[in-house]
Amino acid sequence: MKITRSIVLTGFAALLVTGSLLFGCSKKSSNPTSPGDGGGGDTFNTGVINVVGFSFPHTFSTAGSMPYHCIPHSPGMAGTVIVSSSSTVDSVVVTVGPGGARTFDPSSVTVKVGGQVRWVWASVGHTVTSGAPTAAPMAMPDMPGMSGPGGR
Ligand SMILES: [Cu+2]
């Protein structure tokens, strides 16, 4: 039956995709070069994580303001890591999707140069991806008042 075979293959493909995303994550975090991140030293992309409690640490070696986002919920789900030579913060934890919300909490954190940010997933279906959010994957109307510089 053509239809049955199609369903089976689709399910199998979904398993393969899920598996490769999960197992590919640790590789990416230790070797943070992924296409589309625009290069530079502090790039990362976890892929979609579907495990509550998943933990992704990243050490920031370059001072500056580092935007990041969640690909499926871009551009609304985004945050910033400020890496500052005047900071003394060694490490900080950011909760991903607290209570199922499409947010990072806190959305802006500051660490010292060489400091570590650890993201912990509180709900599933999110990525932590370096870089500013670009266009939404699906066409969405512009959100007035959300495009200016954030007053944090
Ligand atoms: Cu998300």
Domain boundaries, the chain: 2-130
pLDDT, residue 41, reads 57
pTM score:
0.64
pLDDT, residue 28, reads 41
Please report, in tens digits, the pLDDT of each residue of the chain (152 residues total).
444 454 444 444 444 444 444 444 443 443 444 444 333 457 999 999 999 999 999 999 999 999 999 999 999 999 999 999 999 999 999 999 999 999 999 999 999 999 999 999 999 999 999 999 976 555 555 555 554 454 44
Q: How far is the CA of 4 from the centre of ligand 1 (A)?
A: 32
Q: How far is the CA of 128 from the centre of ligand 1 (A)?
A: 8
Q: How far is the CA of 71 from the centre of ligand 1 (A)?
A: 7
Q: How far is the CA of 77 from the centre of ligand 1 (A)?
A: 6
Q: How far is the CA of 2 from the centre of ligand 1 (A)?
A: 35
Question: Cα angle at 6 between 4 and 10, to 5 degrees?
Answer: 120
Q: How far is the CA of 132 from the centre of ligand 1 (A)?
A: 14
pLDDT, residue 27, reads 39
pLDDT, residue 131, reads 96
Q: How far is the CA of 48 from the centre of ligand 1 (A)?
A: 8
Q: How far is the CA of 36 from the centre of ligand 1 (A)?
A: 18
Q: How far is the CA of 74 from the centre of ligand 1 (A)?
A: 7
First to last CA, the chain: 58
- Who contacts 73 (Cβ-Cβ below 8 Å, separation ≥6)? 102, 126
**Which residues have beta carbons under 5 A from ligand 1 (an ion)?**
70, 73, 77, 126
pLDDT, residue 143, reads 56
pLDDT, residue 44, reads 96
pLDDT, residue 151, reads 44
**Exposure on the CB side of residue 115, measured as CA atoms within 13 A:** 22
Q: How far is the CA of 103 from the centre of ligand 1 (A)?
A: 7
pLDDT, residue 124, reads 98
